[in-house]
Amino acid sequence: MSCDILVCNKAGVSGEISGISDSKLNYTHNETFAAWRSKFPNNDVSEYHRNFSLIKISDKTSEELSYLTGHTFIDNDIVNRWYFVLPSSSTDEWKVLFLTGEISKTFAEVLIFIRERS
């Protein structure tokens, strides 16, 4: 029982939860750092665009967390209801995310970084 949360890092939509998927999914080099390193093993890490961060959840299924991809209306606009708040840059979580582009945690450990728009 596990799943992945793909979080957007692009300016303007930083923290948007882009998708929830089964952990068996093979990501492309445009989606995860690990896939980028596999495709471009000789490139310097500084060349990676960091479009997404991958949050691996060890104790929930994609079905259980599918609500995180829901939408809501704010100021007559449809937006993602849930978003991810980056950990403080002094935390181990942030260091792992920054260096590897992904982190593995239980959902309870990740829940403190997930917020609902109101």
Tens-digit pLDDT profile for residues 37-46: 899 999 988 8
Tens-digit pLDDT profile for residues 7-27: 988 756 678 898 999 988 888
Entry pTM: 0.84
Tens-digit pLDDT profile for residues 66-117: 999 998 888 888 888 999 988 888 888 888 887 888 899 999 999 999 999 8
Per-residue b or e along 53-91, where b marks 16 or more CB atoms closer than 10 Å to that residue's CB: bbbebeebebeebeebeeeeeeeeeeebbbbbebbeeee
Q: Any idea what DSSP says for residue 113?
A: T
**Of 49 and 20, more confident:** 20
**What is the predicted pLDDT for the residue at 10?**
73
